[in-house]
Amino acid sequence: MERWQFFRAEHTPHPDIDKLPLPPPWRRYAKHRPELLSDAKLPVELFGEELRGTIYLAGEPEIDIVNTALYLRRPLLITGDPGTGKTLLAYAVAYQLRLGPVLQWPITTRTTLHEGLYSYDAIARLQAVEQKESATDIGRYLRLGPLGTALLPVRRPRVLLIDEFDKSDIDLPNDLLNVLEEGAFRVPELERLPEGETFDEVEVGTADNVRARIRRGLVQCLEFPFVILTSNGERDFPPAFYRRCIRLEVAPPSPEKLREIVKLQLEPIQELAPIIERLLAEFSRRREAGHVLATDQLLNAVYLAMHNRDLNEDAMRRLQEVLLRALR
């Protein structure tokens, strides 16, 4: 193991993230601003284990680039064909470094930055006022989104997976720039509250379904979260966005790595080795012919073969055509 590596090619959780050096001066946040840290009421930290984090096979290029992003506190933009393990890398980092459950923010063409930060149910609060119910607890109507939750001031950075980012509206990458640079955002609905002890701190819900306290409408991270943005390479992003990211291009796994993935995830029995090798060869042949195929298509085919050992040649051929059909 290289001395500088915190994320490694292994499947054993460890606490070494606590030994990560201080971030560069331009990436230091509330931890180095005592006036914010002393007033922060931190939510309960979650250190769950993600099963998917144990099945990712990281190569040296991925390991080096992940550690670069960890050191520099920069988002990691991962580009590659569907099914090359881009999302699994987020779970592997969270599992190995004990950073809790992965916060997921799936992206569509309608996704806005506001949705990632928080939601506010103004209608429900207005109804409470009209029905003469207590509406002073504004936190009941606020909930942080996955990005907002990732920016809470917790001791260890959270892992945020922004999935299929290339599906986003053209404005979202630019809208994200300031948040990714400052590691903070403000909630106007809380900033507008009158000053006083009652409203200085407001308890709100989070994407984890726990409660967190926000002071004077400001959410400011202590450690920048480990942000992974995945892209299928279907569009380019603005230069200013690329400048703020560490970039990783994930290549389709080699036949040797595919064999390791099958062994790790399915533990196939030896007597099925010829059938599995045949599926591996057919999968590789189609991919080399230019077909875009996802690794889980191969895993599905192998799994069915393992549990249907009496498949004849015709049935195997039909299985291949159904499960190994090109994605594009």
Per-residue pLDDT of the chain (328 residues; tens, 9 = 90+): 556 799 987 878 888 998 999 999 989 886 544 444 433 343 444 444 456 777 788 888 899 999 999 999 999 999 998 888 899 999 999 999 988 889 999 999 999 999 999 999 878 877 777 666 655 678 888 999 999 999 998 888 999 999 999 999 999 999 999 999 999 999 998 888 776 655 678 889 999 888 898 888 899 998 899 999 999 988 999 999 999 999 999 988 888 989 888 888 887 767 678 888 888 999 999 999 989 899 989 999 988 888 877 777 788 788 888 999 998 8
Tokens at 221, concatenated = 């991270």
Residue with tokens 């119910």: 133
Q: Is 309 exposed, middle or buried (0-12, 13-18, 19+ CB in 10 A)?
A: exposed
Q: Which helix (H) or strand (E) holds 143?
A: strand 142-144
Contact between 249 and 236 under an 8 Å Cβ cutoff? The reply is no
Strands 142-144 and 118-120: antiparallel
**Residue-wise over 220-247: b if at least 16 C-beta within 10 A, else e?**
bbbbbbbbbbbbbeeeebeeebeeebbb
The rounded distance, in Å, linking the Cα atoms of 14 and 2 is 15
pTM of the model: 0.86
3-state DSSP call for residue 159? strand
Contact between 319 and 275 under an 8 Å Cβ cutoff? The reply is no
Q: How many CB atoms sit inside 10 A of residue 55's CB?
A: 15
Cα 313 to Cα 259, 274, 324, distances in angstroms: 22, 13, 16
